[in-house]
Structure 1
């Protein structure tokens, strides 16, 4: 072996060992490392910061319910009481827990230099064991096991920080209650059953006017004539009108009565009387993600959703024959009134639109 090669090998071996004195200044111990009184005082300071974080979190929750979002008494920048209270309390909760962790690290956690040798490949078993030992040492040096006050106040403040996030979910919108289960089709009376009208022109539909193969987009007459059905007009105005219309959107399709395969309703009763001489009514809202449907295959009575190609068989209780939809289209039982106009017998017997957790399903 040449002298140059031996010299290079010696340098490599030497590089594997730590430098005895890398030139760092002598370590200076912190006051909390040498004075138990100052250590205890620092521990109390950190715990107080964590408790202040918890107090701010509680204030956030109180402010959320106490201050109305419409309260707009003048503040800096013209912000309302709710905005200021929620912003300051949440900022304080995050700020105090952050400062507490920083002070904990600066004053109470281990404070000495550690040398770690680098390796070029995966660690062997002894190195892995050493790493776990170092981890245990690090946890020990944080003092979390022997400082229950710091540990418990930290865990308490962090646990409470989840509460504002949960409360914030309420601002995604009002809770629907049972509104998803009902539409305005059920608002008709014995004297005035809910008429089905053409969408856009709002004219009632005579059963005799529809021919085999026709597909008509429809809405409830109550959107234009709420008083006729004893409905407060404010319930079908502005935003409310859009909500009512989106849930009540309907399609009528006429086919040969012999093509219809009556299913059963939620109570197991036959749907044989749900159509009028081959005219069937279904929700226009796809049960996949709520797209409006109107693409009709006239000869097969299949209705295709343009969004994701879910296909429903209108001759067979709206069952899914293709695509990602997981439920049939809800069917509306219909009949005719004394003047021959199409009307709803009652509301849908299941929620319209996409699936949700609480929604039940029954075979048809």
Structure 2
């Protein structure tokens, strides 16, 4: 009989000094249960916690928690106030010069709000919630009426143990601190700005050409990006050359807050393709000047700058996803994920200078921009 019992129970555990069984690796020391606790618990509850709380210490902890919740509320209010009000000064917080200031205030206030809330909740749990052994029994997933009633009772007891019903100061300051945090995502929707509508379908080239036409000119002059120097045909007569150009006046005719946006849309690459290899598209025979052709620098895949040019193959390359366009054949896609050619800018000559006679005839950038 004893042999069968030993075979079922398995081999006996080794004994240490005094005849006591040695602790098996992976089990708590001293026979400590994995869940819950008891009188022999070697890991007591945090100071100030237990089945009964010291009311004097609890009051001090309650004031500390309320102070952190109030600090969280103030930080959230400052975040919202800065975002709505102060960020509107001097052209808004989206300018390059104000990015550091806005990041400091918005990021700092939101971090302070979350940190104060976390510290307050931590003190609440460690100093104000009672610590009782909890045993969770495992049963069938379908709960009986008795189990549901027991859950409701346990929930109410847990709420009472947490102090949220007994201590109105904590409850009110917690709700006060959480309210602005709930409103913050709604306020941040303002940062998305207005719908683009059809503004992505045109560039500053259109306004500049219209202004030039009103002055009796054929078109707007092309200026070199970085120097703003108007470009003559004789300055760009070497086959295989490439340069980045912009419409003349873009830095002077626009508000400071719009210069960067409009420049990013209007940026254009000018390429001198050998005349014997150039194949102008149908209807665009007059859009080039002796093989000098202009294409949008914005890749039609996801909007990266297509800024690389291979002189031997006359291919325009986008370094982001390797979309490749043929500069000799209307910038058609020859490789990569781009779905359509780079838009072409019509060119002409006026008083020896290269000019654009109109805006791009198709939307620039990725195809999804057309849905604006």
Task: Provide the TM-score with structure 2 as the length reference.
Answer: 0.56
Confirm or deny that 1:290 pairs with 2:277.
no
CA contact (8 A) 2:51 2:131 kept: no
From 184, 204, 225, give the equivalent of 1:183. Answer: 204
Confirm or deny that 1:346 pairs with 2:358.
yes
Q: Could you give the per-residue CA deviations for residues 14-57 of structure 1, whole angstroms, max 9, x where no partner exists?
A: 9889597526689651156xx9xx99999899678646633541
- CA distance in structure 1 between the partners assigned to 2:172 and 2:367 by the alignment: 39
How far off its partner does 1:210 sit?
5.2
- CA distance in structure 2 between the partners assigned to 1:329 and 1:135 by the alignment: 65
How far off its partner does 1:328 sit?
2.9
Q: Which runs of 5+ in 1 are unaligned?
A: 72-80, 118-124, 263-269
CA contact (8 A) 1:295 1:306 kept: no
CA contact (8 A) 2:58 2:128 kept: yes
Relative to 1, partners in 2 of residues 1:6 and 1:291: Cα closer, same or farther, differing over 3 Å? closer
Confirm or deny that 1:22 pairs with 2:40.
yes
Relative to 1, partners in 2 of residues 1:162 and 1:215: Cα closer, same or farther, differing over 3 Å? farther
What corresponds to 1:328 in structure 2?
A: 341
Confirm or deny that 1:281 pairs with 2:294.
yes
What corresponds to 1:143 in structure 2?
A: 159
CA contact (8 A) 2:323 2:336 kept: yes
How far off its partner does 1:247 sit?
3.8
Relative to 1, partners in 2 of residues 1:361 and 1:88: Cα closer, same or farther, differing over 3 Å? closer
CA contact (8 A) 1:197 1:205 kept: no
Task: Provide the TM-score with structure 1 as the length reference.
Answer: 0.57
Backbone CA RMSD of aligned residues: 6.1
What corresponds to 2:121 in structure 1?
A: 101
Total equivalences in the alignment: 318
What corresponds to 2:96 in structure 1?
A: none
CA contact (8 A) 1:283 1:331 kept: yes
CA contact (8 A) 1:195 1:221 kept: yes
Relative to 1, partners in 2 of residues 1:235 and 1:298: Cα closer, same or farther, differing over 3 Å? same
Q: 3-state DSSP class of the match of 2:281?
A: coil
What corresponds to 1:196 in structure 2?
A: 222
What corresponds to 2:322 in structure 1?
A: 309
Q: Could you give the per-residue CA deviations for residues 81-114 of structure 1, whole angstroms, max 9, x where no partner exists?
A: 9999879865763455234413432465342134
How far off its partner does 1:217 sit?
2.0
Q: Which runs of 5+ in 2 are unaligned?
A: 91-100
Relative to 1, partners in 2 of residues 1:318 and 1:28: Cα closer, same or farther, differing over 3 Å? same
Q: Could you give the per-residue CA deviations for residues 220-272 of structure 1, whole angstroms, max 9, x where no partner exists?
A: 462xxx4xxxx7747599x959974884332234445983334xxxxxxx656
What corresponds to 2:281 in structure 1?
A: 261
Confirm or deny that 1:318 pairs with 2:331.
yes
- CA distance in structure 1 between the partners assigned to 2:38 and 2:188 by the alignment: 56
Relative to 1, partners in 2 of residues 1:340 and 1:84: Cα closer, same or farther, differing over 3 Å? closer
